[in-house]
Structure 1
Amino acid sequence: FRQLLARRELGRCRQEHEEYLEEIERLQREAFLALVHRERESARRRREQEAEAEQRRREEQQRRARLLDAAFDGNLGEIAAVLREVDELLTREGVGHDEVGAARRRQQRVALLECADPRGNTPLSEAAAGGQPRAIQLLAEQGASPNCKGAFGRTPLYRAAFGGHLEAVEVLLKLGADPRLYADDGSTPAQVASLDAVASVLQSWDLCLTEAMLQNMEAERQRRAQEAERSKEAEAKRMNLKVQQLAKEQRQCHKELQQAYCELNRRVAEHDKCERRRTGKAELTLQAIQDAEAQVDRLRQEAEKAEETLAMARLELREQTAEGEEEAPGMKCQVTELHDVLMKDVGDRIRADGRWPVIIDPSGQAATFLRYQDTNYLDTVNPDHMRPERIRLALLGALRYGKPLVFDLQEVDLFPAVQQQLEAVQPGLAQELLSRRLLEQDRYLSLLRPSDGPEYSPTQFQEARLGQFRLFFVTRVRWPTAEQVQVLLPVLVQQPSGGL
């Protein structure tokens, strides 16, 4: 009878095991499909953004070509239409009509008016070459410079004189065109004038008027430069506030994700306990695990979206402040170089810096590498791994055997939580460990407890092994907080150029 019951129990266990494996396979398949879907969606958004950027570039080129042709032909309606399109485009982008918005609109308008063809000729220069005084007047009123130099160093006045356009020459002189400017060959507009009337006007022109107008134009240029600087500062301030708000939202997303991970681990522990005790509530606990996993997946996607939005805002802020693509602080390495950089510290760069590394790798390959090395690995989203006693023993073991202690922060900002748990082990431990003072003058012996076994006696800690101790933090967050960058050495793991 006992054998019969044992066979039945064995059959039930095998059936449950098969169902468990099927469930795991289903969940893995769903997770893989979700990952593929996210990657495809990300690639689709990236293609759409590239297509939109290319479309904007083509439209900008078309507007410039239309403006140049309209200026040469004297088509005032087309010139006004092109300028109106630029104004409407800025309106669609959300640029207002306040002081900052008006300054940005003027900057965009002047930038368009100062565009040049492949030979370097601007729309005003084209209007001068075509003998279009009304187009010259309109373009100059909108902010175009009458003294710009194009192909062969020829000014609009030079080209108008060369073409024999008397009325265009007179308008340019009244607008401040300087008849003394030389072309690359050393000739002046008066010397190349094709009509005597044009040469006479240029030679008899009162240069005092030109000097006065040049001073006015210089004053206007300085005023615009100051206006642009004020607009730039205001925009940078606005972007700073936006970045701060997005960073706050990102931290909130990571906090919620951390709580969801803790809840998932609690549900898994409850399920394991039910399986061991056979209380018959395994289905309920399994459903709770699935709900917790769904919550983690949803919050992870929200955190990734918040991080991407924050990264784009930071990029826009760098462009607004004219810093360009600044180099990320710290070190960079490939995945294949992790052993040399982290474990061997080739070149003693980590030791010379004095800070422990935080390995930034959104792909997660660095975490996998460190997990399967000879390290004491702690998963910070697992509450069991973050117990003070476990952290203390993991730290003592790493010091005793001279191997790395790894805190895997996952894609959650858990660095403050790690510091808090280190303080729970021993007050002041976080600062002593981060500053390496714990390794000096046998300070680490303060971590020993009377209940520790003989393997943790002071004689078991050797100086040579203590010198090989490492502390690593690894994160999937692309932009660590300023606190982490300040106290830790960023090591950015770059992906191979060919991708995966």
Structure 2
Amino acid sequence: MGSAASALLKDVEQATPEELKAAASALTAEEHARVRAAFAHLHTSLQTDASVGPVVAAAGENEDGVDAALAAELAEQEKMFLKCLRKRAEREAKKKLEKEERKAAAKKLKDKAMEAAFDNELDDLLKMMDEGVEPECSDEHGTTLLSEACAGNAKEVAEMLIGEGCDPNSVGRYRRTPLWRAAYAGNQELIRQLLRSGGDPRECDEQGARPIDVASNAESREYLVCWDPASTDRIKEDKRKAAKNAEKEEKAKFKRQQQELVDSLEESERRMQVSKSELARARKLLVDYRQQKVSFVEQGAQEKLAELEPLIESAEVQVKLFEGSVQEWEWKASRARLKMNDLEQAKKEKEAKAAGKLRGFKVQISCASLDELESLLPRLAPTLEVDEDFAWSDIDLVKGDALIKDGAFSHLKASEFNKQFLQSYGRPSQDEVTEASQAEEGAEKEEPFPLTLNFSRGFNRTVPIKAISDVLLKDVGGLRAEDGRWPFVIDPSGRTSTFIKYSGAAVFNIVELKDMEPLRLRRAFLNSLIHGGALLVDLGSFDTKIDVVADKFNDLEKGLFAKLLDRAVLYAYLLPRRFKSLIVKEIAQDFQISAFMDEALSKFVFGFVTSFRDPDLDFAKQFYTISVKGGDEDEA
């Protein structure tokens, strides 16, 4: 406190009341107003000082206290941020490592299978086939297991592979067929089996040599000379006819299954209508009995009331019985409709798989050399899109897949990333190069191969942010229901999650889900089912492993997440009778079995939202993918 203020207070304390009154009476009106204003200001200042006094005192004790606390908090935030970045980098590195390990393990298993086929180790090869090795698998040169077996005189393995339907005319390294290699090895028995299964003795290798030209012994040459090529043509034709007949049988089987489901649906709907008619009759009878009861009560007819009571009880039992019957046949009709839809979807997926058209976002291939890159380029349009479907090693590329500017090309401008640049990529400096390749000469001097190429595959649907609610929740147009998979929204701007929350959907971000109590998730899940709502998981901007989400749902019930992802869930799991195990004692009063109705369940939506640009292909292809048009570019 200042010295002037101290003196003033001292003078006031020493003055008598009479002196204060005299001084006050001598003041003018203007001076009175100024004194009152000064005292009011002083009162306010004292209150403020009292509230901040401890803080000021602390600051007086340590003038740098506030700055130090702020600096400590900022340092802590920076540590958390760096920790998040480190965790993300570790996850990405771990994912990359796991992918490389899986790829290496698959290649190792395939190489072992090739060796087992060559060495005639049938039991070992059968075990590897159980582990996922396909009978028709081949190495990077196209050499198949059957070809290796023929080269190694592996009679038992070759017989098994021929029995599995492996192609006896598959072309491997140097364009050599299994028959060519069997002839070179001089195995007459294998030659006989291959010829009888359709092996063509007229097929030449890249040097123009036929199997008969390289046969290593007289018996093999004699067998090939005596073989009539017309027989090969007949066998091939028989195989084509057999394949055609198998296709016809498959179609006939599909039609039979479809007709069975149609009949089941019609029968369920017929019985449902009968049950509804009986229910309406029973309800009308019950209403009549109750009206009679009211009348008898008014009349005081006790004897008639006694006779009517059993009739009312019987009618109530009949009403409950027919209500249960109606519900049961509604379930069966709904199940039949969903099974029909699943049958159609399974057919589409089978056809897509046969054509190599798997859905996804990012397809990765590898070019081991300049020759491989040159063989790929003619298949690309000037826009760097695939012109027509083709197979690259064990990867199927489909028309419309577009090469992505990432990896070795991420530093290029969009205008520089074109077919002309790819034609010059990786060439030695003495070759003729284009201006674009000269600009990147420094980058290309380092080892350019093996080169990883990523192709973008289209989403199932692309919509503007304003339409996301109609597509994701209401399924306007019915395309998602027709597809039969749960939705997966890719929105780099991150707006979808916020937008959807305003529509009433339950949205949990991945961080919140990790720490969520199982009972809260159980309530949210059951509420979404009972009201026909949506339950969405926001994966954020991280390439989160699905195991994190799966574990939380499996904590509610073992295997629940797998059931939810399976399309069969809609007719095998999402039925009222199936929820009994999910309704635990703590929430039993809030969720009654009778409250779960098919109409609400049919509107239930379970899905994922992410702002990560390139979700994992294996994860993404399990869902109906929706891309939000514009993404974060709209806000730039």
Relative contact order (alpha carbons < 8 A, sep ≥ 6): 1 or 2 greater? 1
Q: Report the TM range for the smaller structure's normalisation.
A: 0.3 to 0.5
TM-score (norm 2): 0.30
Higher helix share: 1
Bigger Rg, which one: 2
Return the TM-score normalized by structure 1. Answer: 0.37
